[in-house]
Structure 1
Amino acid sequence: MRSDRFVRPGHPDVLPEADSRSAWRLLWWLVRLRPWPLVAAAALGVCWMVPLALVPLVIGRAIDAGIAHGADGAVYGWACAVFGLGAVQALAGAGLIQAATAAEMHAVSVGHRVLLRHSVRLGGSLREQARTGDVVAITAGDVDNIGDAFEVVGRAIGSLVAFAVVSVVLVLTSPLLGAVALVGVPLAVAGIGPLLRPLQERNEQQREHLGDATARAGDIVAGLRVLRGIGGERRFARRFAVVSQRVRAAGGAAGRTEAWLEAAGVLLPGLVTVVVTWLGARLVLGGVISPGELIAFYGAAAFLTLPVSTATETADSVSMALVAARRMRRVLRLEPAPPPPADPVPLPKAALRIVDSPTGLVVEPGALTVVDAPSAVSGPTAARITRRSAGTGEVTVGGLPIERLDLAQLRRRVVLCTHTDTLFSGALDDELTSVRRTAGRAELTTALHVAAAADVLDSLGGPSAAVAEGGRSLSHGQRQRLVLARAVLADPEVLVLEDPTSAVDAHTEALIVRRLAEHRRGRSTVVFSQSPLWTKAADRTCRLDAEPATATGGDPL
């Protein structure tokens, strides 16, 4: 299979699996996938940089020829050589831009395709394993940082070869000055090294804070409308201000380190140029080298700042690319929900008892169990006890390992409803009864009453009203209550709710708690919420945190 087929439009299936064992392996996989743009960029980078390095040496020879012979012909010949070097550099520069852009676009396009493909594979489990803000930040920023590193490769290799050429010519002309340049410039680059690790760490911190801010902004947009008028706007604004200040502080720390890096890239090579100029002037006075050679040495030493600055840019780009590759690798290492077992085990007909070994959570049949847990714990736990994404033996349902159960039976008898569930476009009654087509009008009315959503139905114009995709025409509280009504109408044996009243006011929450407890009495209901209203109505309570779970038989936490 040819490598160019990997990125040919219309052939997504030929893209091989990414090597996500480490950040370096992921970057090297991108290189191996389509190396020709990088190879072309490297060759053209050499053709672009070497003529630029030779120009001061040719000018020095022209000066010596003019001083020694006073002949215009020799000067014209060297002038033609400078013109030829300029022409080669111009042509190579034009090709370098195209090759470097092709390498950059390859990295960006393949990175986006790999992330998209894996996101599709993960499906609904992506939201359970990664924050929305992280995925958005990786797609919008980190993949571009990897592309920037690919773009600089050609210039970096050209700078390295040009440095070697200049060093050899300088050593052959004057061993002393050549040694100063040959040793001084690498030392200048080495002096930049200690700044690279702090820069990489601070860039990574900034990306983490940025992902958190993006996720927080999404939460604000989703939940702010219901809090408007009761101080919610100011509170959320203060919270987001704190998060954004963390992003600013992290960006400032990374910027300061990058500024020191840039300053060192100018100062250290500049010191080498000063030393070369001073020694060269003394050698000219002593008759060791000619004036033209001094000009050549000065121009070459000044040129050497360009490879150093390119090395600095390369180090910065590679540092950012490594941070981006690590974040991208985290998403690529996420595992989708396991496939159905080859020989599924049917669920027992008796009431189901669910046990989650990692947290110690126990769901007793027929009880309203309220789980007090932070959002970072409640979401994964709720998903683990309702889906077959748990590890072997971690969760048992009815005494059987969840990963061995028949998926269709599990979905019918155990239903998860989260505060982020959405509504699809279409008639509202069709959307709500999609979970149970046999439900009648009376059952639908009861479900809406339990979820305190009857007023939402009236405001929309009745059950046949159209709902926009995702319910975006509704407030977050209205959407949350309709989603809860849909879950209640499903009438499962075990209903698991994650923050079902996080976007409603206290009065509406109290109504929902009371009505749901009455409606589901005698059936298993698990509510992940830190609200005291739910705790007060619970038959059993459980607290999940960093320590093993603690449970009580109905006493408030």
Structure 2
Amino acid sequence: MTNRLFDASVAPSRVPEADARGPWAYLWWLVRIRPWPLVLAAGLGALWMVPLALVPLVIGRAIDEAGQGSGQAGLYLWSLLALGLGILQALAGAGLIQAAVGAEAHALSVTHRVLMRQVVRLGAGLRGQARSGDVAASAAADVASIGNAFEVLGRTIGAAVAAVLVAVALTATSPLLGLAVLIGVPAAVLGIGPLLRPLQARDEAQREQMGIATSQAGDIVAGLRILRGIGGEAGFAERFRHTSQRVRRAGESAGRMEAWIQAAGVFLPGLVTVGVVWLGARLALSGAITAGELVAFYGASAFLTLPVSTATEAAETLSLAKVAAGRVCTLLRLAPGTVRPARPEPLPTGPLPLADSGLGITAAAGRLTVVTAPADRTGVLAERLSRGGAGGGSPDVRLGGVPLDRTDPDGLSARLLHSGPGDVLFSGTVRQELAAGSAPSAEAVARALFAADAADVVDALPGGLDARLDEGGRALSGGQRQRLILARALLAAPDVLILEDPTSSVDAHTEARIVDRVAALRAGRTTVVLSDSPLWRGAADHVVRLEAQAPSDGPDRSSGVSR
């Protein structure tokens, strides 16, 4: 499985569980599950960088051969060696690009998939634990930062190998110059270290402001129709302008620190080069080294700026990747509202009754039950009746005689569906939206649209079922969105359907049609409607009225009316 993680066909569920203990643990986990792209990039990086380091030494030797009058053969030999090194570098460079992109794509793909899997696991509980802007920023900026770190690692390892090789070669020629390189190059790299922590702090601040701005932008777009109705567009636009300015200032602060790091990456190795050249020139004047060796020392010292600049880039990229991985780990450590019980009990086959002994609610199998409750408690009540898994569901709520807190969440989601005002329409065609990943027949789609009185909504769209919806269905009215969401729930055809205020956004005539048609379509299946509408109560087989509010998690005891 780990060899196929880059394959786009590998589902998120097949990716191993991520190590989310911390940013470095997560980055090392990415390396462990598929190390070969990074190992290949490191090997090719060394093959690409080492010839570049050896060329000045070969040229210096060729100059000495020519100066010693040993004939053209030696000069040709060293020239051919320089040409061979150039060809090797070109071939290794072509392979390095592919390997580095492969390592980057692996990190991008796997991180996207573990985030997608975590979002699916959290479900509706994600909104209460994280800002939507944080999730969007992680899926975009953080994933890109992690991918960039994997792309640069191959070149960095190659640069380190080449720097060591040059230092060894210079030491063999002149121990004094070799010692200067062995001290100067690490000192230049370490000199950048004090700048990394401020860069991390400023990048975290920028990332936090980006999350806030993304969340605000999403809220404004989603509520633009309401804002226009109350005249709040200008006020919210001003709020977003202030937020965007904070993002800009945070970005400028992080950019200044990045500029200082880039400047240090040029200045510090430049000092090393100047020092090595000055020392080599004095040794050449004293006769300790030859003219060719001086040229080799100069070329090698100039080459050392490349490993140092590469190390600078790697340090900066890894610093940003650490911040990004920390954000990803924060999302991965969020716990879902429902978890799988240690010993889940299976639900019985056939129609399922739903009962809450704590509140006195009983929804008979295959019947339509309407529950009226205070408007501010219907959402809590719907969650109470639909949540399952250990630590999530109430032991007082039983589905088919099985307590919700003992049911398998996967089995529960396949048999019970809660549809309410918090549901959204996703981008895509109307057909894809209604099917929600399944393959219903054309007749089933038509029946669901008819029952939700949404056929006219689809007919009015250019392309009908093949018309594309914007995210959230922003181009539709509130009533149109609600009817399409209801049609999607009806098309799912669960054994138990809990509808929370399903007709709150439509007029009375439309509601009357929906009530009659839903009752007919759902005949023989358990349906619970949370609504205070008299039309729903009139069509119900059983009505439960919840008057007062319970101390903890729902309205108090009920009075029931059967029909």
Q: Same fold (TM over 0.5)?
A: yes
Structure 1 counterpart of 2:17: 18
Is 1:352 aligned to residue 359 of structure 2? Answer: yes
Report if aligned partners of 2:388, 2:408 keep a CA contact under 8 Å in 1: no
In 2, the alpha carbon distance for the partners of 1:474 and 1:65 equals 79
The aligned residue for residue 405 of structure 2 is 403
- Counting only pairs closer than 5 Å after superposition, residues 70-109 of structure 1 correspond to structure 2 as 71-109=71-109
Question: Given the superposition, is the C-alpha separation of residues 475 and 172 from structure 1 closer, same or farther in structure 2, using an over 3 Å criterion?
Answer: same
Separation (CA, whole Å) in 1 of partners of 2:11 and 2:75: 59
For each residue in 1:38-82, what CA deviation from the matched residue of structure 2 results, as whole angstroms up to 9, or x when unmatched?
A: 222111111111110111112222222333337444333322221
Conserved? CA contact 1:107–1:150, under 8 Å: yes
Q: CA deviation at 1:113?
A: 3.1
1:507 aligned partner: none
Measured in 1, the distance between the counterparts of 2:146 and 2:417 equals 43
> CA–CA distance in 2 between the matches of 1:60 and 1:203?
45
Q: Is the 8 A contact 1:388 1:402 kept in 2?
A: yes
C-alpha distance in 2 between matches for 1:214 and 1:231: 22
Q: Following the alignment from structure 1 to structure 2, what is the Cα–Cα distance between the partners of residues 91 and 246?
A: 47
Question: Cα 1:388–1:398, aligned 2, differ >3 Å: closer, same or farther?
Answer: closer
Q: Which amino acid aligns with 1:317?
A: T
8 Å contact from structure 1 (residues 163, 304) kept in 2: yes
Aligned-partner residue type, residue 17 of structure 2: A
Correspondence for 1:513 = none
Deviations 1:322-344 (A, max 9, x none): 22222333333344433474278
Q: State how far apart, in whole Å, the 2-side matches of 1:353 and 1:253 are.
A: 60
Aligned residue for 1:417?
Answer: 420
Asked if 1:392 is matched to 2:395, the reply is: no
283-292 vs 307-316, which deviates more? 283-292
Give the secondary-structure state (helix, strand or coil) at the position aligned to 1:342: coil
Contact kept? 1:18, 1:26, Cα under 8 Å: no
Q: Which residue of 1 aligns with 2:339?
A: 338
Q: Which residue of 2 aligns with 1:4?
A: 3
SS of equivalent to 1:228: helix
Deviation at 1:274, TM superposition (A): 1.4
The equivalent of 1:472 in structure 2 is 473
SS in 1 for 2:223: helix
Q: How does 1:204-223 map to 2 (within 5 A)?
A: 204-223=204-223
- Say whether the 8 Å CA contact 1:347–1:409 is kept in structure 2: no
2:269 aligns to what?
Answer: 269
Q: Please state how far the C-alpha of 1:6 moved relative to its aligned partner.
A: 3.9
2:374 corresponds to 1:368: yes
Q: Supply the RMSD in Å over aligned alpha carbons.
A: 5.1
2:192 aligned counterpart, secondary structure: helix
Relative distance call for 1:418 and 1:194 in structure 2 (3 A) is: farther
Paired residue type of 1:338: V
- Give the Å deviation of 1:181: 1.2
Over 3 Å counting, the alpha-carbon distance change for 1:406 and 1:334 in structure 2 is closer
Partner SS for 1:93 = helix
Structure 1 residues 406-415 or 294-303, which shifts more? 406-415
Quickly say closer, same or farther: Cα 1:239–1:13, change in 2 above 3 A.
closer
Q: CA deviation at 1:116?
A: 3.1
What is the one-letter code of the residue matched to 2:3? D
Shift of 1:351: 6.6
Distance 1:80 1:33 in 2: 42
Residues 157 and 485 of structure 1, relative CA distance in 2, 3 Å threshold: closer
Q: What residue in structure 2 maps to residue 511 of structure 1? A: none
In structure 2, C-alpha distance between the alignment counterparts of 1:108 and 1:414, rounded to whole Å: 34
Number of equivalenced pairs: 484
Decide whether the 8 Å contact of 2:163 with 2:307 is kept in 1.
yes
The answer to whether 1:31 aligns with 2:31 is: yes
1:278 and 1:232 mapped to 2: Cα distance? Answer: 69
Q: Can you give the 5+ residue segments of structure 1 that lack an aligned partner in the other structure? A: 355-364, 372-377, 427-433, 446-455, 502-515, 526-537, 543-547, 550-557
Instruction: Specify the code of the residue in structure 1 equivalent to 2:235.
Output: R
1:171-186 aligned within 5 A: 171-186=171-186
CA 1:74–1:484 in structure 2 vs 1: closer, same or farther (change >3 Å)? closer
Q: Relative to structure 1, is the Cα distance of residues 458 and 59 closer, same or farther in structure 2, using a 3 angstrom cutoff?
A: closer
* Superimposed CA distance per residue, residues 274-314 of structure 1 (whole angstroms, 9 cap, x where no aligned partner): 11122222222222222222222121111111111111111
Q: Alpha-carbon deviation of 1:151?
A: 1.4
Partners of 1:344 and 1:296 lie apart in 2 by 79
CA gap 1:343/1:478 in 2 versus in 1, 3 angstroms: closer
Change (3 A) 1:391 1:384: farther
Quick one: structure 1 residues 62 and 524, their matched pair in 2 at CA, closer, same or farther if it must change by over 3 Å? farther
Quickly say closer, same or farther: Cα 1:160–1:386, change in 2 above 3 A.
Answer: farther
Percent identity, aligned pairs only, is 50
Q: Deviations over 1:365-414 (max 9, x none)?
A: 9873758xxxxxx99x8997565368738967689996358999999999
1:33 is matched by which residue type in structure 2?
I
Matched residues in 1 for 2:7 and 2:174: separation? 53
The one-letter amino acid of 1:472's match is G
Higher mean C-alpha deviation, range 397-406 or range 279-288:
397-406
8 Å Cα contact 2:384/2:393 also seen in 1: no
Instruction: Output the CA distance in 2 between the equivalents of 1:383 and 1:148.
Output: 44
- Pair 141,161 (structure 1): closer, same or farther in 2 beyond 3 Å: same
Deviation at 1:257, TM superposition (A): 1.3
Q: Is the 8 A contact 2:393 2:405 kept in 1?
A: no
Checking the alignment, whether the CA contact within 8 Å between 2:5 and 2:106 is kept in structure 1 is no
Give the Å deviation of 1:93: 0.9
Q: Which residue does the alignment assign to 1:61?
A: 61
1:151 aligned to 2:157? no
Displacement of 1:12 in angstroms is 3.5
Distance (Å, rounded) in 1 between the aligned partners of 2:310 and 2:280: 26
Distance 1:101 1:367, change over 3 A: closer
Matched with 2:365 is none
Once the 2 structures are TM-superposed, how far is the Cα of residue 459 of structure 1 from its aligned partner?
10
Amino acid at match of 1:268: L
